[in-house]
């Protein structure tokens, strides 16, 4: 079975940092593009960042450019999201997703999803 398990969420003050991880199993990690999405209560799921299969290309939502960094570790079959300069509006459940095709900002392009991890940024 394919599994994606997020970790690293929590409560942080505005301006602080968190690193999320997404450990994958049941898939060939290097053959998948990976993405991070987030969803706040009452809002649509929103694209955050994506990385290509070989890690050479990354793509970020305008709202997180310069603050968040997506990366992957093929040896650990894990993708990360380093989040710096966090803002209260970053508060959401963060989901990782795997895409066997091209990296994308569209949720519908992804084949597998984790269950999410809560990130709360306080003022």
Torsion of CA 73, 107, 81, 93, to 10 degrees: -130
19 within 8 A of 35, measured Cβ to Cβ: no
User: How many angstroms separate the CA atoms of 6 and 22, rounded?
Assistant: 4
Q: In what order do the strands lie in the sheet with 78-83?
A: 3-7, 18-25, 78-83, 68-73
Q: What is the pLDDT of residue 108?
A: 95
Q: What is the pLDDT of residue 113?
A: 98
Q: What is the pLDDT of residue 55?
A: 86
Q: Which residues of the chain have pLDDT under 50?
A: none
Please, what's the largest Cα pairwise distance for the chain? 40
User: How many angstroms separate the CA atoms of 18 and 25, rounded?
Assistant: 23
Beta strands, E only, the chain = 3-7, 10-13, 18-25, 33-39, 46-51, 58-60, 68-73, 78-83, 92-99, 112-113, 117-122
């Amino acid at each position: 079975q394919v599994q994606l398990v997020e970790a690293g969420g929590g409560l942080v003050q505005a301006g602080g940092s968190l690193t999320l991880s997404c450990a994958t199993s049941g898939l060939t990690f290097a053959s998948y593009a990976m993405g991070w999405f987030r969803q706040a209560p009452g809002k649509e799921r929103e694209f955050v960042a994506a990385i290509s299969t070989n890690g050479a290309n990354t793509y970020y939502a305008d709202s997180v450019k310069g603050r968040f960094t997506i990366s992957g570790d093929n040896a650990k079959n894990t993708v990360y999201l380093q989040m710096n300069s966090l803002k209260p509006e970053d508060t959401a459940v963060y989901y990782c997703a795997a895409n066997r095709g091209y990296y994308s900002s569209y949720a519908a392009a992804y084949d597998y999803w984790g269950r999410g991890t809560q990130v709360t940024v306080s003022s």
